[in-house]
Amino acid sequence: MSTKSPPATLSMLSPKIAFLVVSFALGELGDGLNIFQGIYLVGLGWNESNVGIALSLMGFTALIIQPWAGDWVDKTTLDRRIFLSVASLFTAASASAILLVREGNNDHMLIFITKVIEGVTSSFIGPCLAALTLSTFGPNHFDAVMASNLLFGHIGSVAAAILAGLFAFTLYPDIKYCFLVVGASALMACFFVQFLPVGDQNMGRGFVGKIALDEQGHIERLESDETTEVAGNGSTPQAASYWVVFSDIKSVLLCLTGFFFHFANANVLLVLGELMGGDDETGAPRRSAIPLIAGAIVLAQLIMAVATYVGDRLTLRGVGRKPLFMAGLVSLPIRCALIIFWKDAGDSYLLSTQILDGLGAGLSGLIHPYLVADITFGTGRFNVLMGLTASCFGLGATLSNFFGQLVVENFGHVASLTGSLCISFIPILLFTFMPETLGQRTLYHNRYSSQDEPQAVYRTMT
């Protein structure tokens, strides 16, 4: 039974408020501004192929780096807050390099290199924030605090899209100053990171810990001290092997489900933007397309925030991971079908389908870290599996954009959307085989003893 001590008031901000502010600032660093970067580069004279390469490089780099970044965040004994600040600054600096691009189809290498840097550094932001959350609040309060972090991240993305859209629309076609939002967000994140607790480093990678904080900042003793000793000696628990964690059927199903969901989903927003916005006589997006694109981003992010809040409330009431994640998956084929049906009905109808995008992304984005924390609890491989699953999701999104636009070019928008509609049923089918993981952390904790090796205990759980 856990016991609580008075609040740990070590700074001017409570730990949970500090996490919320940092999450808000990091939400503004999201890649939603890539859409505005594409508009800006086309306006400077870049051709579409070079814009596509530039905007894809960050995603391709992150695909490679994310598992390694998660593994590094798991293993490090250094202060994760420092790396979160450094990653935020480098991500913002790389994204802001677009301000140095000159008129004409020039400066390709500048943007290509900075997009690679952005892909590397941004890969550390998610694992660092998740590890700090778990290390501070432990397995009992991780879900609730992580849901709040995601909620404020979505709100930050909304704020960034609104500010960038206002700048872009007002200053069109010279929209470059909208990218200053990214730099301001990074500075805000770095300032408030210092108020985050460092927490229990080992608990931050998914091991059993001694103490944690609850959402009010009270110190909570989790279990007796001996539960943190794995082999009876030494202060660092032994992690389970990569193979044991990666080969678990739940890990495999999550990777495959996420891959096919994003393979079907990512291209839909591009097609939607093409159907709503259109181009002017030069081939560049029309000025009137900017508020539509910004509106699509804002509407989706607002619904993601609502879905995150509702999903968190339902989780607290005992609703399992599987029905909530499945609800997010089911929203995609409905969205694709509506866009096909409403393709000629007007921009307002098409824009309304972003409600379903927000529902799907919000619920899947919320439950994803819950599932990974359930699967890896006690193994010490939380962040590396977060990185692996994120890479699988990103690979699906990258291939979706490539093949989806290839189909648009050769067969049209309806054919591309029909392909996404058909593929969207694959993740639904796959996830029907996913076991429910709610309560698995408690089950592992109850069966854990100081004599058991983590790999042996983990095998009994799977």
Sign of the dihedral through C-alpha 89, 91, 96, 102: positive
Please tell me the number of Cα atoms within 13 Å of 352 on its side-chain side: 11
Percent of the chain's residues with pLDDT above 70:
83
Per-residue pLDDT, 207:
86
What residue ranges define each of the domains in the chain, with the CATH number in brackets? 11-461 (1.20.1250.20)
Residue written as token pair 């952005």:
118
List, in order, residues 6 or more apart from 352 with CB less than 8 Å away.
Answer: none
Give the closest residue to 254 by CA, choosing from 82, 53, 78, 392.
Answer: 392
DSSP bridge pairs for 3: 221
33 Rama class: left (phi>0) / alpha (psi -120 to 50) / beta: alpha
In tens, the pLDDT along 385-409 reads 999 999 999 899 888 878 887 888 7
The helix/strand count (H/E) of the chain reads as 17, 3
Say what the pTM is: 0.81
Give the closest residue to 392 by CA, choosing from 253, 212, 273, 284.
Answer: 253
Q: Under a CB-based contact definition with an 8 Å cutoff, are residues 332 and 263 in contact?
A: no
In tens, the pLDDT along 13-35 reads 788 899 999 999 988 666 556 76
Question: What pLDDT tens digit does each residue of the chain (462 aa) get?
Answer: 455 554 444 456 788 899 999 999 988 666 556 767 777 787 778 876 677 777 778 888 888 999 999 999 998 888 999 989 998 888 888 878 888 888 877 788 988 898 889 889 888 998 999 999 999 998 888 998 999 999 998 888 888 878 877 877 777 666 777 777 888 888 888 899 989 988 888 888 888 778 888 777 777 777 644 444 433 334 567 888 899 999 999 999 999 999 999 999 988 887 887 787 555 554 455 556 667 777 777 888 889 989 999 999 999 888 999 999 999 999 999 999 999 999 888 778 888 998 999 999 999 999 999 999 999 988 889 999 999 999 999 899 888 878 887 888 788 889 999 999 999 999 999 999 999 998 877 655 454 444 444 444 434 433
Give the closest residue to 34 by CA, choosing from 11, 63, 13, 59.
Answer: 59
Radius of gyration in angstroms for the set of CA atoms belonging to the chain, rounded to a whole number: 22
Please tell me the number of Cα atoms within 13 Å of 197 on its side-chain side: 26
In tens, the pLDDT along 416-462 reads 999 999 999 999 999 999 999 988 776 554 544 444 444 444 344 33
Q: Under a CB-based contact definition with an 8 Å cutoff, are residues 331 and 339 in contact?
A: no
